[in-house]
């Protein structure tokens, strides 16, 4: 039987396991990336492993999430990451050099290689034909140390594209259409491969918009073939030698196939507060929705192509009085090329506020909307509260739709007379001044790693006991995101290496008293619905609950990265055998689960709900744990397991 692109890359990197859907496979990892918000923890974990130098082909530490340096905390984190990178053979991308995913595919990504990153949008690299996967910081630390990276072998989903995009419709609308069809749960357990005659006209930057937002499908990753488009892009980056062809076999089999005719697509938006709440712009425009803010950038839509499109729509015009417009170029390369060709001037003259090349508003670092304000963003997530304004109304749109709204002040169907091909210049401006090479092995031996006072120790982990008896401290609904569990934003991000401080904000948007109640109880359980922990890869969404005494989470289903992070932190993820049993347990009740050691052998247990000292309900629960993960739980988390 023929193979899909992803299966070929997995087969070429297989260190452990069998390529049967659902079984764990251990992969050799060629490249890793971290960003600052997850990087401090990842490097503390890496240091604790005692490996002097990374064993990957390329590891890069980016500073892009929090570049504000509003106090010493953030600046200390940057110093720490720079010094730890220099010492251990890791390249360092300075603050201001750009968003990790954008810079990585421009300067480092290679078709056919494996990449894991401590950021859920790492699959962006799939647009270049990489097998690029988001992971928790601990998994990235282990991969830097040369260890395999484990995932359940995914099923394969093909998205067959035909036709060509109409003017004013772009790559963002393609992925929004996929989200509309599949929802934020639809990709769970799959790798999404794009194929069909419609892909040949999509440039690498457009492909990267699509693979980037594949994260919102819950997919393990998304991937495009490496073809002539890929070669053109790499040559323009001065990296033609990195190109190799990559395609699926004609008889490759997919577990699921969906088809989209690109010529039938119209501009779309994901409406508040979920990336799959997708509606046509024409319908929203008819409602006359007034727009307060427009943000263009993020790892989804901050390429040179995107910036040039927006600049051409704004050139010689002025943005609406009621709108505040921000532009964050994705990388220093994009920024300098915008300056060189005059597009930057067009944007400034039209009234845009130009921000640093960083995540910025996407992660709530400034530019929060006014109360109840409508914000159109070219980003990938519009979860409740993520913008920093709880009642902010965030719509996710294409750069064209964003620019049209900036001009009229209302949600407006973008009118572009043609799909001008701004795509790949013959050569990109190559200037890697924002990247610092690691020290050589000799110099590294005596180099110092600088740790400021904001960097606090890793929380204590517990090895799994035979019995858990604890209160349900919190019961939540379906689709709880890591932004609910561990919010980000300007106030909190400086404390990503300070778990005790962070813990005060755990579940703040859902239930501000959670942290105090959990701490007072000493130990606890969380009950969740479907797709618990979707969104970001931040392991803080597991480490902070661990610090607050959470021993188990029982949910209808889990998002992949979060489930792995829970296990790595030593928290037991349990799944309701019958989702209807969710209704049989209430917040405040006590849950008792005994015989866990035996339960581990067949991945089953029974949770007894205790009411006034009596058993109120007996709920069968299951574990979806590989043998390795059971050992991790018994050892008290991945770090202890690795040390053993």
The whole-angstrom separation of Cα 181 and Cα 170 is: 17
Catalytic residue among 381, 386, 496, 551: 381
Q: Which CB sits closer to ligand SF4, 100 or 621? A: 100
Using the rule CB under 6 A, is 359 a contact of ligand SF4? yes
Please select the residue that binds ligand SF4; options are 90, 260, 355, 363, rule is CB under 6 A.
Answer: 363
Q: Cβ atoms within 10 A of the Cβ of 619, count? A: 22
Return phi, psi of residue 575, to 5°: -120, 135
Q: Which residues contact 59 (CB under 8 A, 6 or more apart)?
A: 31, 32, 33, 34, 89, 90, 91, 144
Considering only 78, 104, 273, 538, the residue that binds ligand MIC (CB under 6 A) is 538
Binding flag, residue 642, ligand SF4 (CB under 6 A): no
Site for ligand SF4 in 60-79 (CB under 6 A): 65
Residues with Cβ within 8 Å of 475's Cβ and at least 6 positions away in sequence, in order, are 526, 527, 528, 585, 586, 587
- Please tell me the distance from the alpha carbon of residue 146 to that of residue 56, in angstroms, as a whole number: 6
Binding residues among 480-519 for ligand MIC as defined by CB under 6 A: 488
Cα–Cα distance measured from residue 402 to residue 407, given in angstroms and rounded to the nearest whole number: 9
**Rule CB under 6 A: is residue 38 a binding residue for ligand MIC?**
yes
Q: Does 121 bind ligand MIC (CB under 6 A)?
A: yes
Stretch that binds ligand SF4, among 224-232, 309-317, 358-366, 383-391 (CB under 6 A): 358-366
Minimum distance from residue 298 beta carbon to ligand MIC (Å): 8
Residue 78 binds which of ligand SF4, ligand MIC, none (CB < 5-8 A, kind-dependent): none
Nearest distance in Å: CB 567, ligand MIC: 17
Cα separation of 527 and 448, whole Å? 44
Q: Given the rule CB under 6 A, which of 148-156, 271-279, 356-364, 577-585 is the region that contacts ligand SF4?
A: 356-364
Residues 158-187 binding ligand MIC (CB under 6 A) are: none
DSSP secondary structure code for residue 263 in this structure: G
CB within 8 Å of 9: residues ≥ 6 apart: 112, 113, 114, 130, 131, 246
Q: 41: alpha, beta or left, given left = phi > 0 and alpha = psi -120 to 50? A: alpha
Beta carbon nearer to ligand MIC, 83 or 298: 298
**Residues contacting ligand SF4: total by CB under 6 A:** 11
**Nearer CB in complex with ligand MIC: 117/147:** 117
Nearer to ligand SF4, 229 or 365 (CB): 365
- Residues 284-323 touching ligand SF4, rule: CB under 6 A, are 298-299
Catalytic residue among 64, 139, 242, 276: 64
DSSP-derived secondary structure for 282-346: HHHHHTT-B-SEEEE-TTTS-SHHHHHHHHHHHTT----TT-EEEE--SBHHHHHHHHHHTHHHH
- Binding piece for ligand MIC, criterion CB under 6 A, among 185-193, 272-280, 337-345, 532-540: 532-540
Asked about 64 being catalytic, the answer comes back as yes
Distance in Å, CB of 149 to ligand SF4, minimum = 19
Near ligand SF4 in 121-140, by CB under 6 A: 121
Q: Which of 65, 273, 386, 496 is catalytic?
A: 65
Token pair 């007034």 is found at 290
With H, G, I as helix, E, B as strand and everything else as coil, classify residue 155: strand
* Residue 387: burial class (beta carbons within 10 Å; 0-12, 13-18, 19+): buried
Of 216, 143, 179, 296, nearest to 482 by C-alpha is 216
- Could you tell me the smallest distance in angstroms from the CB atom of residue 365 to ligand SF4? 8
Which residues, other chains included, contact 292 with Cβ-Cβ below 8 Å and sequence gap of 6+? 322, 323, 324, 369, 370, 373, 374, 375
183 binds, among ligand SF4, ligand MIC, none (CB under 5 to 8 A by kind): none
Long-range contact list for 199-202, CB < 8 A, 24+ apart? 199/161, 199/224, 199/225, 200/227, 200/228, 200/229, 201/164, 201/165, 202/161, 202/171, 202/229
Instruction: Find the binding residues for ligand MIC in span 375-414 (CB under 6 A).
Output: 381
Could you tell me which stretch among 41-49, 131-139, 357-365, 421-429 binds ligand SF4 (CB under 6 A)? 357-365
Question: Could you say which of 45, 76, 119, 242 contacts ligand MIC (CB under 6 A)?
Answer: 119
Catalytic pick among 30, 76, 119, 139? 119
Supply 484's token pair. 């609910």
610 pairs with which residues across the strands? 590, 615
63 near ligand MIC, rule: CB under 6 A: no
Contact between 74 and ligand MIC by CB under 6 A: the answer reads no
Contact between 119 and ligand SF4 by CB under 6 A: the answer reads yes
Residue 538 appears among annotated catalytic residues: yes
310 backbone dihedrals φ, ψ, rounded to 5° = -65, -45
Q: How far is the CB of 604 from ligand SF4 (least distance, A)?
A: 37
Locate 279 and state its tokens: 């509606």
Alpha-carbon distance 112 to 51, whole Å? 27
Considering the candidates 324, 336, 387, 536, report the single residue annotated as catalytic.
Answer: 536
DSSP string, 483-532: HHHS--STTTGGGTT-HHHHGGGTTTTT-TTHHHHHHHHSSEEEE--TTB
What's the Cα-to-Cα distance from 573 to each of 539, 560, 565, 569, 638, rounded to whole Å?
14, 11, 10, 11, 15
Q: Indicate the residue among 307 and 359 with the shorter CB distance to ligand SF4.
A: 359
Answer with the entry of ligand SF4, ligand MIC, none that 38 interacts with (C-beta below 5 to 8 A by kind). Answer: ligand MIC
Q: Which of 7, 67, 82, 120 binds ligand MIC (CB under 6 A)?
A: 120
Whole-angstrom distance, CA of residue 504 vs CA of residue 88 = 33
Q: Which does 537 bind (CB under 5 to 8 A by kind): ligand SF4, ligand MIC, none?
A: ligand MIC
- Contact with ligand SF4 (CB under 6 A): which of 222, 274, 301, 380? 380
The site for ligand MIC (CB under 6 A) is made up of: 37-38, 65, 119-121, 134, 363, 381, 488, 535-538
Active centre residues (catalytic)? 64-65, 119, 381, 536, 538
The site for ligand SF4 (CB under 6 A) is made up of: 65, 99, 119, 121, 298-299, 359, 362-363, 379-380
């Amino acid at each position: 039987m023929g193979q899909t692109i992803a299966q070929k890359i997995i087969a070429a990197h297989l260190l452990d396991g069998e390529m049967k859907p659902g079984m764990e496979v251990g992969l050799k990892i060629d490249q890793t990336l971290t960003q600052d918000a997850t990087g401090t923890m990842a490097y503390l974990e890496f240091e604790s492993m005692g490996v002097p130098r990374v064993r990957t082909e390329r590891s890069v530490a980016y500073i892009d999430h929090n570049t504000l340096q509003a106090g010493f905390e953030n600046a200390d984190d940057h110093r720490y990451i720079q010094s730890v990178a220099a010492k251990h053979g890791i390249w360092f991308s300075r603050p201001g050099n750009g968003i990790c995913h954008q810079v990585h595919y421009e300067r480092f990504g290679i078709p056919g290689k494996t990449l894991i990153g401590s950021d859920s949008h790492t699959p962006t690299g799939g647009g270049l034909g990489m097998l690029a996967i988001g992971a928790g910081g601990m998994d990235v630390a282990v991969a830097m140390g040369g260890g395999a990276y484990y995932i359940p072998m995914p099923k394969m989903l093909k998205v067959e594209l035909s036709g060509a995009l109409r003017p004013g419709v772009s790559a963002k609308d393609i992925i929004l259409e996929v989200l509309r069809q599949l929802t934020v749960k639809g990709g769970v357990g799959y790798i999404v491969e794009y194929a069909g005659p419609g892909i040949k006209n999509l440039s690498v930057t457009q492909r990267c918009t699509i693979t980037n937002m594949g994260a919102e499908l819950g997919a393990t990753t998304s991937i495009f073939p490496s073809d002539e488009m890929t070669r053109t892009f790499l040559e323009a980056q001065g990296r033609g030698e990195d190109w190799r062809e990559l395609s699926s076999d004609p008889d490759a089999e997919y577990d699921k196939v969906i088809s989209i005719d690109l010529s039938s697509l119209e501009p779309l938006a994901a409406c508040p507060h979920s990336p799959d709440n997708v509606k046509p712009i024409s319908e929203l425009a008819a409602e006359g929705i007034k727009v307060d803010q427009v943000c263009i950038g993020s790892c989804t839509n901050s390429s040179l192509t995107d910036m040039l499109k927006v600049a051409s729509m704004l050139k010689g015009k002025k943005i609406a009085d009621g709108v505040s417009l921000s532009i964050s170029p994705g990388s220093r390369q994009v920024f300098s090329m915008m300056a060189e060709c005059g597009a930057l001037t067009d944007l400034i003259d039209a009234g845009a506020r130009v921000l640093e090349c960083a995540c910025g508003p996407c992660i709530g670092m400034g530019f929060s909307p006014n109360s109840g304000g409508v914000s159109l963003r070219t980003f990938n997530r519009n979860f409740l509260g993520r913008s920093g304004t709880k009642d902010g109304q965030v719509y996710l749109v294409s750069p064209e739709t964003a620019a049209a709204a900036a001009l009229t002040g209302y949600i407006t169907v973008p009118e572009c007379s043609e799909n001008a091909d701004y795509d790949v210049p013959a050569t990109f401006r190559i200037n890697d001044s924002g990247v610092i090479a690691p020290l050589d092995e000799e110099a590294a031996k005596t180099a110092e790693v600088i740790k400021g006072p904001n960097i606090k120790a890793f929380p204590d982990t517990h090895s799994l006991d035979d019995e858990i008896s604890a209160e349900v401290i919190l019961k939540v609904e379906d689709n709880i995101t890591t932004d609910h569990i561990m919010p980000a934003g300007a106030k909190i991000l400086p404390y990503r290496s300070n778990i005790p401080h962070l813990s005060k904000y755990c579940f703040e948007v859902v239930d501000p008293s959670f942290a105090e109640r959990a701490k007072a109880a000493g130990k606890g359980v969380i009950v969740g619905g479907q797709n618990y922990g979707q969104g970001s890869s931040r392991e803080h969404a597991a480490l902070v609950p661990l610090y607050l005494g959470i021993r188990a989470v029982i949910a209808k289903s889990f998002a992949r990265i979060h489930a792995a992070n829970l296990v790595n932190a030593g928290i037991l993820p349990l799944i309701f055998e019958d989702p209807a049993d969710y209704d049989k347990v209430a917040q405040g009740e006590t849950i008792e689960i005994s015989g866990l050691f035996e339960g581990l052998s067949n991945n089953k247990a029974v949770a007894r709900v205790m009411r006034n000292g009596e058993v109120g309900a007996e709920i069968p629960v299951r574990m979806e744990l590989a043998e390795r993960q059971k050992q991790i739980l018994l050892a008290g988390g991945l770090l202890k397991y690795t040390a053993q």
